[in-house]
Amino acid sequence: MKEIVKVGLLGLGTVGGGVYKIIRNHQEELCHRIGSGIEIKKILIKNEDKKREVDSRLLTKNSDDVLADPDIDIVIEVMGGIEESKRYILEALRQKKHVITANKDLMALYGSELHAFALENGCDLFYEASVGGGIPIIRSLVDGLASDRINKLVGIVNGTTNFILTKMTKEGADYNSVLKEAQRLGFAESDPSGDVEGLDAARKMVILSQLGFHMRFNLSDVYVEGITKIKPEDIDYAAQLGYTIKLVGIAQRDQGEVEISVQPALLPNEHPLASVNNEYNAVYIYGDAIGETMFYGPGAGQFPTATSVVSDLVAVARNMHLGINGQHTVLPHYETHLKKEETIFSKFFLRFHVKDQAGAFSQITALFAENGISLEKLIQEPIGIEGLAEVVIITHRTNRASYTRLISQLNDLDIVDCLEASYRVEGE
Strand partners for 375: 395
221 and 281 share one domain: yes
Residue 332 maps to a domain: no
Angle of helix 175-185 versus helix 159-171 axis, rounded to 10: 130
149 and 270 share one domain: yes
153 and 272 share one domain: yes
Q: Of 237, 265, 298, which one is at a domain's C-terminal end? A: 298
pTM for this predicted structure: 0.94
The model's pLDDT over 235-249, given as tens digits with 9 standing for 90+, comes to 999 999 999 999 999
The model's pLDDT over 400-416, given as tens digits with 9 standing for 90+, comes to 999 999 999 999 999 99
pLDDT-derived band at 428, boundaries 50, 70, 90: confident
76 and 146 share one domain: no
Selecting among 6, 86, 167, 204, the annotated active-site residue is 204
Q: pLDDT exceeding 70 applies to what percent of the chain?
A: 100
Inform me whether the pLDDT recorded for 158 exceeds 70. Answer: yes
Q: What is the per-residue pLDDT for 162?
A: 96
185 and 269 share one domain: yes
CATH number, domain with residue 420:
3.30.70.260
Pairing of strands 291-298, 280-287: antiparallel
Q: What is the per-residue pLDDT for 343?
A: 97
289 and 200 share one domain: yes
Inform me whether the pLDDT recorded for 1 exceeds 70. Answer: no
Inform me whether the pLDDT recorded for 331 exceeds 80. Answer: no
206 and 282 share one domain: yes
294 and 308 share one domain: no
Residue 358 maps to a domain: yes
Residue ranges of alpha helices (H) inside 73-231 are: 83-94, 104-120, 137-139, 159-171, 175-185, 193-196, 199-213
pLDDT-derived band at 217, boundaries 50, 70, 90: very high
Average pLDDT of the chain to the nearest whole number: 94
267 and 310 share one domain: no
Specify the length of the chain in residues.
428
93 and 206 share one domain: no
Q: What is the per-residue pLDDT for 413?
A: 94
Strands (E), 288-344: 291-298
Inform me whether the pLDDT recorded for 330 exceeds 80. Answer: no
Three-state secondary-structure class, residue 13: coil
| Section 312-331 average pLDDT | 89
Taking alpha carbons only, the member of 196, 199, 195, 216 closest to residue 207 is 216
Q: What is the per-residue pLDDT for 88?
A: 98
Are the C-beta atoms of residues 54 and 43 closer than 8 Å to each other?
yes
Are the C-beta atoms of residues 253 and 213 closer than 8 Å to each other?
yes
212 Cβ partners below 8 Å, 6+ apart?
A: 141, 150, 153, 251, 253, 285
Inform me whether the pLDDT recorded for 383 exceeds 90. Answer: no
What does the alpha-carbon distance between residue 244 and residue 236 come to, in Å, rounded to a whole number?
A: 9
Residue 228 maps to a domain: yes
Is residue 104 annotated as part of the catalytic site, yes or no? no
Cα–Cα separations (whole angstroms), residue 255 to 209, 217, 339, 398: 15, 17, 10, 18
Are the C-beta atoms of residues 275 and 411 closer than 8 Å to each other?
no
Residue 345 maps to a domain: yes
Range of the structural domain that residue 353 is part of: 341-425
Q: Of 298, 314, 331, which one is at a domain's C-terminal end? A: 298
Are the C-beta atoms of residues 212 and 290 closer than 8 Å to each other?
no
Inform me whether the pLDDT recorded for 186 exceeds 90. Answer: no
229 and 310 share one domain: no
The model's pLDDT over 192-214, given as tens digits with 9 standing for 90+, comes to 999 999 999 999 999 999 999 99
86 and 182 share one domain: no
Inform me whether the pLDDT recorded for 308 exceeds 70. Answer: yes
Cα–Cα separations (whole angstroms), residue 372 to 109, 185, 359: 39, 47, 20
Q: What is the per-residue pLDDT for 51?
A: 83
Structural domain total, the chain: 3
| Section 313-322 average pLDDT | 94
CATH number, domain with residue 243:
3.30.360.10
Residue 123 maps to a domain: yes
Inform me whether the pLDDT recorded for 327 exceeds 90. Answer: no
Residue 335 maps to a domain: no
Are the C-beta atoms of residues 114 and 125 closer than 8 Å to each other?
yes
SS (H, E, C) 162-181: HHHHHHHHHHCCCHHHHHHH
Produce one character per residue of 251-262: b if its CB has 16 or more CB atoms within 10 Å, e if not: bbbeeeebbbbb
Residue 329 maps to a domain: no
Residue 42 maps to a domain: yes
What does the alpha-carbon distance between residue 63 and residue 10 come to, in Å, rounded to a whole number?
A: 8
Inform me whether the pLDDT recorded for 185 exceeds 90. Answer: no
